[in-house]
Amino acid sequence: MILTLAYTTLTEKSAATSEQAPAQTAQSEKPKPCCVCKPEKTARDDCMLFSKSDNPEQECKSTIEQYKTCMAGFGFKV
């Protein structure tokens, strides 16, 4: 009786773990924010850093939007 109960409990835990595994795999397949949109990020950073304008944010608005759009495509909110 005890062995049957222990086996049933272990089997249920194993099944629950198996069901959770695909969810964890899906999360691990999502790329890290640092690894996507590198060209857009570089263009945005260069524009902001080397801008001669008094308001670089306004001058670089299009490159900032391109970067945000790219990141949103990967599921990140910037």
Per the CB < 8 A criterion, the answer to whether 44 and 67 are in contact is: yes
Cβ count near 71 (within 10 Å): 17
Residue numbers in the known binding site for Cu cation are 34-35
Detail the residues annotated as belonging to a binding site: 34-35
The two three-digit tokens of residue 20, written as one number: 């959770």
d(CA 48, CA 9): 58
